[in-house]
Amino acid sequence: MLTAPQIHEYLRAYLPQDISVTDVQPVPPLFHARLSATAKTYLYRIWNSPDPNPFLRKYSMQVPQPLDVAAMQTAATAFLGEHDFTAFSNAKGKKKSMVREIDTFTIGQDGPLLTLQVRGNGFLYNMVRKMVGALLQVGLGQLTAQGIAQLLANGERGGVTILADACGLYLADVEYETRPAGRAAPKT
């Protein structure tokens, strides 16, 4: 049986360079990397400028029109709490529940680069990209915070007309019931 350090070294040697395994820990036999998670944090990057950034071209969504970032920040609070996110999902088939809880949704700005950070107890297929799309609609004056609240309340798909590009989306952290002793959560 391989030890955790041996598995770590094997993964380092065989995974592509754009995947980094920072730690390997033993887990119970019934552990499932996705289903055992208690929370996840996603980042989404937007380059808000008419001038492309060649360094971020593949790693962010470019939005050339000016965005009302303050309105987006206000509207992001509509997602906080427990809601049925049917309107913000492309989930195929019927999930047991479309209810998820979002406890953090922030939007930071560093010049033209916006970084949206969302943390919740789980996410549906395309949920983050649709939430970002709705916030882009707010930033462009096409939707209001009240409109987001209405979409959450009525659960109708089709109200969000922008599906944010996949290139700006990053899974930043996955949390489990317990972290190994001495291990802090990764910084985002």
**Domains in the chain, CATH or no CATH each:** 36-175 (3.30.70.660)
3-state secondary structure of 69: helix
> What value, to the nearest 5°, has the Cα angle with vertex 104 and ends 155 and 73?
80
Per-residue pLDDT of the chain (188 residues; tens, 9 = 90+): 889 999 999 999 999 998 888 888 888 888 898 888 999 999 999 999 999 999 999 999 999 999 999 999 999 999 999 999 999 998 666 668 899 999 999 999 999 999 999 999 999 999 999 999 999 999 999 999 999 999 999 988 878 889 999 999 999 999 998 655 555 555 54
